[in-house]
Amino acid sequence: MSGRFAGKVAVVTGSGRKGGLGEAIARRLSEEGAILVISDIGASRDAATPDTMIGGTEEMKAIAASLPSPASTCVCDVRDPASVKALADHAVATHGGLDIWVNNAGIGYIMKPLAEVSPDDWRAVIDVNLTGAWFGLQAAAEIMVKQGRGGRIINIASQAAKSGFPHAQAYTASKHGLVGLTRSAAIELGEHGITVNNVCPNHVTTGLGAWQNEHFAELQGVSVEEYLKRMAARIPLGRPGLPQDTAGAVAFLCSDDAVYMTGESMNVSGGEEPH
């Protein structure tokens, strides 16, 4: 394979759903030569991980097989540090190293009014979106430090890392938490040539995004079409985000062009989020 990531090994968590953000990120890195590990939870394990919102084992395999560069799959529950470590070890054992780690796995489908959020709801979102990213960052950094050749760790945060949204208390808290986690990790890992950054997209209509469209359209008492029209009207570039917008930002942060960027939370919002 040729390309600016030729020979690099990349892990993307939550990349096992067709049409999802993780798949778009993995595909972009693969198109530029990276060797990929496609990872997702594989099957529903509890109420917080319904089959309709997770990447299944067969779907993961299909995505890996469709990529232009070599790829493997590895089931991982990011809530379990042993599972995350096994994912990092899989990359090394199967492909010979680890150069890029993208914490993309997330829960964005538990959204309720403040008074209706249960402790289990709160823990489910924080456990995946924030603690899961911490486990990934820790596992990836350990290997990258040992390798001694630097690396790239990228968290898929959100516009919710910068601003609050109704019905998204845990989600917003988890994404704000990624900002602090990234800043601190970047300071510690800089001496090893490892950069740590966030990408903060606005709304992206993936399978999860479609669920959010329906949820908030119903909340506002309008059709999905009207909801999307109103959303586009407040975005300076005139449309919601696309998966490839986020994938492009990830590819940039993985490249040599971003070698002097770390601890950043980069907006990919069409101008909707200005800070």
Contact in structure between 157 and 173 (CB atoms under 8 Å): no
Question: What stretches in the chain show pLDDT beneath 50?
Answer: none
171 is annotated as an active-site residue: yes
Output the pTM of the full model. Answer: 0.95
pLDDT for 230 equals 93
pLDDT of residue 207: 65
**What pLDDT does residue 213 have?**
81
Alpha carbon distance, N-terminus to C-terminus of the chain: 38
Backbone angles phi, psi at 154, to 5 degrees: -130, 130
**Letter string b/e over residues 206-235, b meaning 16 or more CB atoms within 10 A of that residue's CB:** bebbebbbebbbeeeeeeeeebbeebeeeb
Catalytic residue among 109, 171, 227, 260: 171
| pLDDT value of position 219 | 83
Tokens of 93: 């054992």
Which helix (DSSP H) or strand (DSSP E) does residue 171 occupy? helix 169-189
| CA–CA gap between residue 162 and residue 112 (Å, rounded) | 20
What pLDDT is attached to residue 214? 86
Q: For residue 186, give Cα distances in angstroms to 141, 213, 251, 265.
A: 11, 34, 18, 11
